[in-house]
Amino acid sequence: MRRGHFSLTDLPAWCALNDVTFVNVKAADIGGRGYGLIAERDLVNEDDNFELPTLLTVPKELIISAEGVAEYARENKEFRQLLDAAGHRSTRGDILLFLLVQLVLSSPDYEGGHGPSIPWTQYFSLLPAQVPVPTMWTESELSLLRGTSLESAVSAKLSVLTKEFDELRAKVSELPYWDELLSIDEAVTTHDWVLLDALYRSRSLGLPKSGESMVPCLDLVNHSSNPTAYFEENGKGETVLYLRKGYAVSSGSEITIDYGQDKSPAEFLFSYGFIDPDSTAKSLVLPLEPMDDDPLGLAKLHAFGTPPKLRLSENEDGSLQWVGPFVYLMCLNEEDGLRFRVIQETDGSRHLGMFWNETDITAVPQTIQDLIRGHELERIFELRAVTVVLGIIQDQMRQLADGQDEDRIPGLARVEIAQATSRLRTLEAEMLEESLSILEDQRSQLLSDPTVVEYLRLMEHNQDDHNMETDHNEDDFS
């Protein structure tokens, strides 16, 4: 759907009309960073200053959160029908439906009849029509992610977005206006839904009281690992941007906030379309799948309930931490005490139950690591888990190397995207190499553990007995 027009020069009038207050700062076009906030004069907040310098105040009525969406639904009958038909599943989903309505109302193609415009209707047209996140990249640009942790993540996200939009069209089939808009004229397409998701991911933030929200004007503030400002909600429900204590910003310099210093390079690129060059966070998230030869693989995946992932991260002391509860499920079998049963409830419904040594763990599958603690074979289970993780890391390293070696036609990707993906590949290769070295040491230590040594000796002895028995039977047969 075509976008409306609302320029940065129109913003001051909009702010005055809607009680948005800028104090000694203004919105401006920051070269290479899109829109941002800059200081109009020298700003200083001394450490002993009792009154925090306020830079921006946004009224509660303009904040789009779960509460804000509910309030809009009370005022707009048509939106309430859309929300009742396709919403009430998550804050994100409801905000996307709200943005969808603003997309329609603000478009020059809109012919009226679907509710009055609100302040957000005009502000929506200020938001970019292209967001540099991977879900909006071209095929050539997406090919640069091959072998990285984002390759599968972006592919899965695009599949989910397509499914969400198809479900939305099906759910509004009995709402004549929305059915015609989404299904017949195709004024709104899957591409629009992908854009709305990109806007939400790149501009939403967590407020202390309102939770996940979109705040006009505050969403213009760019990120820095050394931010000069921060935001809070005051007693009136307003969102306020403050200058940090001990900071000074010279006139014409940019005001920045922190988008999350603990986010990995992949998370930054996925959500915001760039990698923070100053970030020191080291982490990597990889998808997990059951082993091909595991007869319980599908049952484990079903019982786990959510897409399983392995997270590798580096602690402040430089030590490696890996978190992946599903890894332990991958390593366990019936002989260890893992069982699956079909359970029939009193209402006649049936579901798959998962048990560990006769304890029902269906509701808490992610606690399996805690449950095996103290087991006589705990060190064996740890060895299996470390071995599995090592295999996953080695496989990911091969994929990353293969993706790097692929031939690509120069110039088909934007320069900034080519640079970001190259940086991501370098950082992930370093993380994988460090993890491989540390985990190999952990496996060596586990292999020297007396419990493990004795277990493996018994397993080898039993295998030898089995082979001798097999050979003997074959001799008798001949």
Question: Rounded to an integer, what distance in angstroms lies between the CA atom of residue 24 and that of residue 55?
Answer: 7
Region 42-70 average pLDDT = 90
Q: pLDDT, tens digit, for every residue of 35-44?
A: 999 999 999 9
Q: pLDDT, tens digit, for every residue of 213-236?
A: 999 999 999 999 999 999 999 999
Residue spans of beta strands (DSSP E) within 182-296: 205-207, 211-213, 222-223, 229-233, 239-243, 247-249, 254-257, 283-287
Residue ending a domain, among 223, 257, 291, is 257
Is there a domain that residue 390 lies in?
yes
Same domain? 217 vs 293: no
What is the residue-wise DSSP string for 335-378? Answer: GGTEEEEEEE-TTS-EEEEEEETTEE-TT-GGGHHHHTTT-TTH
Same domain? 230 vs 150: yes
Question: Rounded to an integer, what distance in angstroms lies between the CA atom of residue 281 and that of residue 287?
Answer: 20
Question: Rounded to an integer, what distance in angstroms lies between the CA atom of residue 439 and that of residue 284?
Answer: 15
Query: What pLDDT score does 412 carry?
Result: 84
Q: How many CA atoms lie less than 13 Å away from 353 in the CB half-sphere?
A: 14
SS (H, E, C) 370-385: HHCCCCCCHHHHHHHH
Confidence of residue 349 (pLDDT cuts 50, 70, 90): confident
Considering its fold, how many domains does the chain have in total?
Answer: 2
Same domain? 182 vs 321: no
Question: Rounded to an integer, what distance in angstroms lies between the CA atom of residue 240 and that of residue 364?
Answer: 40
Its domain, for residue 195, covers 8-257
| Predicted TM-score (pTM) of this structure | 0.89
Most confident of 177-186, 323-332, 338-347: 323-332
Q: Which two tokens stand for residue 198?
A: 């990109």
Q: pLDDT, tens digit, for every residue of 86-123?
A: 999 999 999 999 999 999 989 888 776 656 789 999 99
Query: Are the CB atoms for 249 and 113 separated by under 8 Å?
Result: no
Is there a domain that residue 454 lies in?
no
Residue ending a domain, among 257, 274, 297, is 257
Residue 66 pLDDT exceeds 80: yes
- For residue 357, give the CATH number of its domain: 3.90.1420
Same domain? 201 vs 245: yes
Confidence of residue 52 (pLDDT cuts 50, 70, 90): confident
Tally of CB atoms within 10 A around 113: 7
Query: What pLDDT score does 404 carry?
Result: 83
Is there a domain that residue 16 lies in?
yes
Residues 6+ away with beta carbon under 8 Å from 146: 399, 402, 403, 406
Mean pLDDT estimate for the chain: 91
Q: How many CA atoms lie less than 13 Å away from 132 in the CB half-sphere?
A: 18
Same domain? 246 vs 339: no
Is there a domain that residue 86 lies in?
yes
Residue 455 pLDDT exceeds 50: yes
Q: Which two tokens stand for residue 342?
A: 């079909």
Is there a domain that residue 245 lies in?
yes
Question: Rounded to an integer, what distance in angstroms lies between the CA atom of residue 334 and that of residue 200?
Answer: 44
Same domain? 51 vs 133: yes
Phi, psi of 317 (to 5 degrees): -85, 5
Same domain? 207 vs 253: yes
Confidence of residue 33 (pLDDT cuts 50, 70, 90): confident
Query: What pLDDT score does 4 carry?
Result: 86
Is there a domain that residue 266 lies in?
no
Query: What pLDDT score does 193 carry?
Result: 97
Residue 466 pLDDT exceeds 60: no
Same domain? 295 vs 186: no
Of 35-49, 298-312, 375-389, 462-476, which gets the smallest average pLDDT?
462-476
Is there a domain that residue 475 lies in?
no
Residue ending a domain, among 221, 242, 257, is 257
Query: What pLDDT score does 478 carry?
Result: 35
Same domain? 413 vs 309: yes
Same domain? 101 vs 190: yes
Same domain? 157 vs 303: no
Region 185-214 average pLDDT = 94
Greater confidence (263 vs 410) lies with: 263
Q: pLDDT, tens digit, for every residue of 267-314?
A: 999 999 999 988 888 899 999 999 999 999 999 999 999 999 999 998
Query: What pLDDT score does 477 carry?
Result: 43
Q: Using alpha carbons, select from 456, 465, 441 the residue that is nearest to residue 377.
A: 456
Is there a domain that residue 92 lies in?
yes
Same domain? 295 vs 253: no
Confidence of residue 72 (pLDDT cuts 50, 70, 90): very high
Q: Which two tokens stand for residue 192?
A: 């629009």
- For residue 90, give the CATH number of its domain: 3.90.1410.10
Quick one: 200 exposed, middle or buried, by C-beta within 10 A (0-12, 13-18, 19+)?
buried
Query: What pLDDT score does 449 carry?
Result: 93
Length of the chain equals: 478
Residue 468 pLDDT exceeds 90: no
